[in-house]
Amino acid sequence: MLLPPAVTAYHGCGQATYESVTLHHEPMKESRNTYDWLGPGVYFWQDSEARAWRWANECMARGSIADAAVIKANIDLRNCLDLLQEQYREELKQAYQLMELEYQLVKKPLPLNISKLHCLDCAVISHLHQFRDRTGDSPYDTVRAIFQEGNPIFPGSCIMEKDHIQIAVRNTACIKVLSP
């Protein structure tokens, strides 16, 4: 299945970041935490401005930003590790198996996913990118996946209150800011 060349996505942030990106045209800064679900990148919610606002407001309530803002952008997905597609999930499974073997050889425990800290997912996706670099395969510019979050929307449901599609942009040239 062919991906659309671009999707509309939203990045929750503080007003200072919003202004530096939209008014001063500074590049967006990627997140590089060891627990970032889709590995290093600038994170967006695909087609969900409301979810980006909710996240920015949660950050403001925690005191990590002074005031909430959301950046709207088109994200180029032509070179995407699209985990909505089976072929890419297979590639990720193979990366996990290779990483697991490498960790066993050095007697090192694999990272773990614990609650909202996705250290294992981050490590496997980062390992896949490193493997592609070593083998000369072109790097993926973006990573996209479905994220299940929150409580069931009704008893017994597998649909959660905060389900969304998230995109991590590794190559900021793939971001075309549409705000303000």
How many domains is the chain partitioned into structurally?
1
CB atoms within 10 A of CB 123: 21
Q: Give the domain range for residue 90.
A: 85-139
Please report whether residue 20 resides in a domain: no
**Tens place of pLDDT per residue across the chain (180 aa):** 455 689 999 999 999 999 999 999 999 999 999 999 999 999 999 999 999 999 999 999 999 999 999 999 999 998 999 999 999 999 999 999 999 999 999 999 999 999 889 999 999 999 999 999 999 998 999 999 999 888 999 999 999 998 899 999 999 999 999 966
φ, ψ dihedrals at 139, nearest 5°: -70, 150
- For the chain, the C-alpha Rg in angstroms (whole number) is 17
Report long-range pairs for 20-24 (Cβ below 8 Å, ≥24 apart). Answer: 21/71, 21/177, 21/179, 22/71, 22/177, 22/179, 22/180, 23/180
CA 165 to chain centre: 9
| pTM more than 0.85 | yes
